[in-house]
Amino acid sequence: MKKSIFTIFQISAVFIGTIVGAGLASGQEITQFFTSFGPKSLLGIFICTFIYIGVSFIIIDLSTKYNLSSYKELIILVNSSLLGKITDLLTSFFMISGAAIILAGSGSLIHQYFGIPNWIGIAVMSLITIIVLLRGTDGLIEINSVIVPSLIIVITTIFILFVFFSGNIITVHELKTIPYEKHYWILSSVVYASFNTISFSGVLVPFTKEVNSKKQLFIGIIIGALVLTLLSQMINFMLLMNIPYIYKYDIPLLYIVHRFGRTIQIMLLGIIWLEMFSTEVSNIYSVSKTIEKSLNIGYKKSIFCILLIALPISQIGFKQLINFLYPAFGVISFIFIIQCVIFYKRNR
């Protein structure tokens, strides 16, 4: 009983840790995909919850039924045509580029707020990532089992401080009067959930080999999705209350916490860096597992190959990589999810 509960906790932690990268922990992703749509963003986050749970259930079912071990096998299963092969190549490219984005971001974060040269931040991130990844699935689980509870504590603390110091009780009427500059909030929510889901599929598919119980996997995903929803809603609420000032900052949450003192700011920056790290590990783990299976290159060798490719790409810059890659990855991911649902319905 205790072992199954612990396994469910680990699955939930990996789910949250894979999806919550620096973008979400900093408030930037929430601002772009939700907060900028005003009060309807609260509903948009719930749409993501249903997509996470529904599509994860399909991926778990297909992975166990067809004995899959990598996201490449899943993509080719649901669409073996040219489009499926293109989706597979682009997904690998985006995951490696995502690793490059995080390396660039880790260097930028340390340089911007602590004055340490970019290359030191990138080197430290690369070294620790290698150490953890060499432990395989155990390493992935271990880091998320520590980082995710820390994330929950920090975000909840910031939210409690925000509510306490805001003084006035926020009414529904006040929420409705919050200005917003974007429409198409449903599309934004679906695209956001799509690229998060395909990113997590790279971890979830191999997990079905490690965890024999579909029930534990599914319960872990549900708990993870609900906790992630709560965290996202807390961040979104704080951002909504600070429109339009948040649009001026690369790290909107840092603007919100500056009133709570330097200790809280450092805690937030620490969590952002740790979430960068957990996503970096998840991305490289996913691609390494795929390379190991499809190209017959050892898992450990694959880790070094991916980092050797990602390091030069990271020199392009954090913002430039995000502006180009995220929208394109969202479209590819959305197509993949539709393919998954159609295949699942046809082959139940």
Q: What's the CATH number where 35 sits?
A: 1.10.4160.10
Cα→Cα distances 209→67, 94, 288, 301, Å: 8, 24, 15, 21
Residue 174 pLDDT > 80: no
Under 8 Å CB-to-CB from 10, ≥6 apart: which residues?
Answer: 141, 144, 145, 220
**What confidence score (pLDDT) does residue 25 get?**
75
Residue 183 pLDDT > 60: yes
Please tell me the distance from the alpha carbon of residue 330 to that of residue 334, in angstroms, as a whole number: 6
Q: How confident is the model at residue 227 (pLDDT cuts 50, 70, 90)?
A: very high
**What confidence score (pLDDT) does residue 154 get?**
93
Q: How confident is the model at residue 210 (pLDDT cuts 50, 70, 90)?
A: confident
More confident residue, 20 or 156: 156
Please tell me the distance from the alpha carbon of residue 81 to that of residue 73, in angstroms, as a whole number: 13
Q: How confident is the model at residue 20 (pLDDT cuts 50, 70, 90)?
A: confident
Question: What rounded mean pLDDT belongs to the chain?
Answer: 83
**What confidence score (pLDDT) does residue 167 get?**
64
Mean pLDDT check: name the lowest of 9-18, 47-56, 79-88, 186-195.
Answer: 79-88
State the sign of the Cα–Cα–Cα–Cα dihedral 128, 130, 136, 137.
positive
Please compute the mean of the pLDDT values over residues 208-223 and round it to a whole number: 89
For residues 246, 155, 21, 247, the Cα torsion angle rounded to the nearest 10 degrees is 0
Residue 320 pLDDT > 60: no
**What confidence score (pLDDT) does residue 173 get?**
56
Residue 318 pLDDT > 60: no
Highest mean predicted confidence (pLDDT) among 36-40, 47-51, 263-267: 47-51
Number of structural domains (the chain) is 1
Please compute the mean of the pLDDT values over residues 188-203 and round it to a whole number: 85
**What confidence score (pLDDT) does residue 176 get?**
61
Residue 329 pLDDT > 80: no
- What six digits make up the tokens of 161? 């401080």
Short-list 65, 14, 8, 6, CA closest to 286: 14
**What confidence score (pLDDT) does residue 236 get?**
93
More confident residue, 171 or 199: 199
Q: How confident is the model at residue 250 (pLDDT cuts 50, 70, 90)?
A: confident
- pTM of structure: 0.86
Q: Where are the alpha helices (DSSP H) in 66-136?
A: 71-78, 82-114, 118-133
Mean pLDDT check: name the lowest of 54-63, 223-232, 289-298.
Answer: 289-298
Q: How confident is the model at residue 254 (pLDDT cuts 50, 70, 90)?
A: confident
Short-list 207, 218, 196, CA closest to 289: 207
Residue 172 pLDDT > 60: no
Mean pLDDT check: name the lowest of 177-191, 253-267, 307-321.
Answer: 307-321
Please compute the mean of the pLDDT values over residues 58-78 and round it to a whole number: 88
What is the domain extent for residue 110? Answer: 2-346
Residue 48 pLDDT > 80: yes
Please compute the mean of the pLDDT values over residues 183-208 and round it to a whole number: 85
Q: CA 75, 197, 317 angle in degrees (round to 5)?
A: 100
**What confidence score (pLDDT) does residue 51 get?**
94
